């Protein structure tokens, strides 16, 4: 099953990608293991039942028209491959869709850039990251923290200086009211972690008291100050604070076991987010000139080892240059036994043809027919082995029969890493907003129209959720639920005895109780 996904990740940021599911359990297998299918399956999908379009057998590749699949809709049950429980899952983008999102004019993502810089674009989501150049100093207390009120926000830490030839990468995020950081130092091109686990900020309840902190440290404009504390920079279009008033002292680990304060508002310090796919978090483009895949599309063992920077001194180059089938077995064992290699793989974004495209079979598998290839060695007693293998393979290949076509390359992501990364985004798209505040909640004659109302409030709601750390699913659900409750009350009282009364123009939400202010 091949699905096309389109969603939004920010203002003017629409992304399209594909997910592929193979080895799903067949209908007979579902009946035997799960139970009989309903005689009248639902037309639309759900999280608990297969829809009608998945409840009947089909022949060949079918491309349905105007069929929508929603998040959490059931697609089937995991099946088997070679008699073993198995499910094959891919996420990839076409070259055009990849360029449209990762290389969008004015919003280009710095994937693969080993020297990322602060973008002028306001595209921000997920965790914050700071790139601190060598020679920077860290202090035990900010020099500006004078007076008991200001000093209370900066518990005493350690001081020190970053080596001139090194670079510090810092991750910062909030979780359940606290602020956490992790750090890596780069020396001679090698990244070394300084924190075995996230380090909690010395100031307790940093996030819960961030508004109080912003009010105390940035009295001229607490709103701008809140963004400095939240993002490391002001994302609003029209900041009030002058550059001199934007000093942002935060605690970061700069040596193993040491934390100090540094002003991250300096131009020399780069401010990033997960929207940048930073390389030091493992994201890496694998394409021409930097790929373990040879021209035939087969992964080369030596090149893979070089890319993941793992060396086994006990193994000689001659031992690594084994026949193809031995290399494949060794490669599988090598990956299974090296957790650090699997971790590196999760960040690979690979530019390659699909193995489900039959047009590439000749180039991809021809080495198997070489005299020292798997089928070349077996030709005397298995003369049809290669042809039988290709026939078997072609039963799984289908891409040429889809609108994607054959003979193309795609950008492949580790599917779970892709999902986990974009879950950090939290941007609510217009279609999702329509599901929450649907047209049937409004009268047909209501003005402004539902579309106009949603268009007015969608971006401000998203920006508010991002700014005040409300993009977590639980927090966002509360924000939308309380907002919907307030709107329902407003609609209710607008049609009752309060309608038309002077001064009855606003409603406030306090915890779980709605207060209506009206004379």
> Is residue 267 located within the same domain as residue 367?
no
Q: Look at residue 311 and tell me if it is in a domain.
A: no
> Is residue 369 located within the same domain as residue 239?
no
Q: Which helix (H) or strand (E) holds 14?
A: strand 13-22
Q: Where are the alpha helices (DSSP H) in 468-509?
A: 473-494
Tell me if the bond preceding 448 is cis, omega within 30° of 0.
Answer: yes
Q: How many domains would you assign to the chain?
A: 2
Residue 58 and residue 72: Cα distance in Å, rounded? 23
> Is residue 248 located within the same domain as residue 369?
no
The two structure tokens encoding residue 57: 């057998």
Residue 356 and residue 305: Cα distance in Å, rounded? 26
Q: Look at residue 460 and tell me if it is in a domain.
A: no
The two structure tokens encoding residue 513: 């109780």
Q: Which of 257, 280, 303 is the last residue of a domain?
A: 280
Q: Look at residue 159 and tell me if it is in a domain.
A: yes
> Is residue 147 located within the same domain as residue 258?
yes
> Is residue 245 located within the same domain as residue 380?
no
Strand pairing partners for 15? 7
Q: Look at residue 292 and tell me if it is in a domain.
A: no
- In the three-class reduction of DSSP (H, G, I as helix; E, B as strand; rest coil), residue 52 is classed as helix
Please provide the distance, in angstroms rounded to a whole number, between the alpha carbons at the two ends of the chain.
60
Q: Which of 254, 280, 306 is the last residue of a domain?
A: 280
Among 399, 383, 390, 402, CA closest to 361: 390
- In the three-class reduction of DSSP (H, G, I as helix; E, B as strand; rest coil), residue 454 is classed as helix
**Cβ neighbours for 338, distance < 8 A, ≥ 6 positions apart:** 310
Q: Look at residue 419 and tell me if it is in a domain.
A: no
Q: Look at residue 374 and tell me if it is in a domain.
A: yes
Instruction: Give the residue numbers spanning the domain of 160.
Output: 128-280
Q: Look at residue 435 and tell me if it is in a domain.
A: no
> Is residue 259 located within the same domain as residue 370?
no
Q: Write out the chain's pLDDT in tens, 519 residues.
A: 999 999 999 999 999 999 999 999 999 999 999 889 888 888 888 888 899 888 888 888 888 888 989 888 999 999 998 888 999 999 999 999 999 999 999 899 999 899 999 998 889 999 999 999 999 999 999 998 656 667 889 999 999 999 999 999 999 999 999 999 999 999 998 999 999 999 999 999 999 999 999 999 999 999 999 999 999 999 998 999 999 999 999 999 999 999 999 999 999 999 999 999 999 999 999 887 666 666 665 666 566 666 655 544 445 555 545 555 565 666 677 778 888 888 888 999 999 899 999 998 988 888 888 888 888 888 888 889 999 999 999 999 999 999 999 999 999 999 999 999 999 999 999 988 888 888 887 777 777 888 888 888 899 999 999 999 999 989 998 888 887 666 655 555 444 443 344 444 444 444 443 333 333
> Is residue 388 located within the same domain as residue 258?
no
Q: Which of 225, 245, 280 is the last residue of a domain?
A: 280
Q: Where are the alpha helices (DSSP H) in 137-282?
A: 147-151, 210-217, 222-231
Q: Look at residue 198 and tell me if it is in a domain.
A: yes
> Is residue 180 located within the same domain as residue 272?
yes
């Amino acid at each position: 099953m091949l699905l096309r996904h389109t969603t939004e990740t920010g203002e003017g940021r629409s992304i399209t990608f594909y997910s592929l599911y193979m080895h799903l359990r067949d209908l007979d297998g579902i009946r035997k293991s799960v139970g009989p299918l309903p005689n009248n399956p639902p037309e639309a999908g759900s999280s608990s039942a297969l829809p009608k379009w998945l409840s009947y057998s089909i022949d060949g590749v079918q491309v349905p028209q105007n069929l929508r699949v929603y998040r959490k809709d059931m697609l089937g049950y995991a099946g088997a491959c070679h008699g073993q429980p198995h499910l094959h899952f891919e996420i990839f983008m076409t070259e055009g869709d990849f360029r449209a999102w990762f290389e969008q004019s004015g919003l280009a993502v710095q994937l693969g850039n080993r020297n990322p810089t602060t973008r002028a674009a306001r595209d921000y989501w997920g965790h914050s990251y700071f790139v601190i150049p060598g020679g920077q100093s860290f202090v035990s207390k900010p020099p500006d923290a004078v007076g008991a009120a200001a000093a209370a926000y900066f518990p005493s830490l350690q001081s020190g200086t970053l080596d001139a030839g090194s670079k510090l990468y810092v991750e910062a995020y909030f979780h359940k009211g606290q602020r956490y950081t992790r750090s890596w130092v780069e020396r001679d091109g090698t990244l070394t972690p300084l924190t075995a686990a996230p380090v909690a900020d010395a100031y307790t309840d940093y996030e819960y008291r961030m508004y109080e902190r912003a009010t105390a440290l940035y009295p001229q404009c607490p709103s701008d100050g809140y963004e400095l504390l939240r993002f490391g920079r002001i994302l609003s279009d029209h900041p009030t604070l002058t550059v001199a008033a934007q000093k942002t002292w935060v605690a970061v680990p700069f040596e193993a076991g040491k934390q100090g304060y540094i002003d991250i508002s300096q131009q020399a310090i780069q401010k990033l987010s997960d929207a940048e796919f930073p390389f030091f978090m493992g994201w890496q483009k694998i394409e021409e000139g930097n790929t373990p895949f040879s021209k035939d599309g087969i992964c080369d063992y030596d090149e893979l080892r070089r890319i993941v920077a793992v060396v086994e001194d006990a193994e000689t180059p001659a031992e690594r240059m084994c026949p193809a089938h031995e290399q494949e077995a060794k490669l599988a064992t090598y990956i299974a036994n090296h957790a650090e290699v699997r971790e590196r793989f999760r960040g690979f974004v690979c530019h390659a043809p699909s193995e489900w495209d039959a047009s590439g079979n000749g180039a991809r598998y021809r080495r198997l027919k070489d005299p020292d290839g798997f089928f070349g060695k077996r030709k005397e007693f298995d003369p049809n082995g290669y042809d039988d293998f290709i026939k078997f393979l072609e039963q799984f290949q289908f891409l040429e029969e889809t609108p994607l076509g054959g003979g193309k390359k795609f950008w492949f992501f580790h599917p779970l890493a892709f999902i986990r990364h974009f879950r950090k985004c939290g941007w609510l798209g217009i279609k999702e907003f329509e599901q929450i505040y649907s047209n049937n909640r409004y009268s047909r004659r209501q003005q402004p129209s539902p579309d106009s109302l949603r268009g007015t409030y969608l971006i401000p709601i998203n920006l508010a959720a991002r700014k005040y750390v409300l993009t977590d699913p639980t927090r966002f659900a509360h924000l939308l639920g309380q907002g919907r409750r307030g709107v329902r009350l407003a609609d209710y009282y607008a049609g009752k005895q309060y309608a038309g009364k002077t001064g009855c123009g606003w409603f406030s939400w306090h915890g779980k109780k709605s207060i209506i202010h009206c004379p």
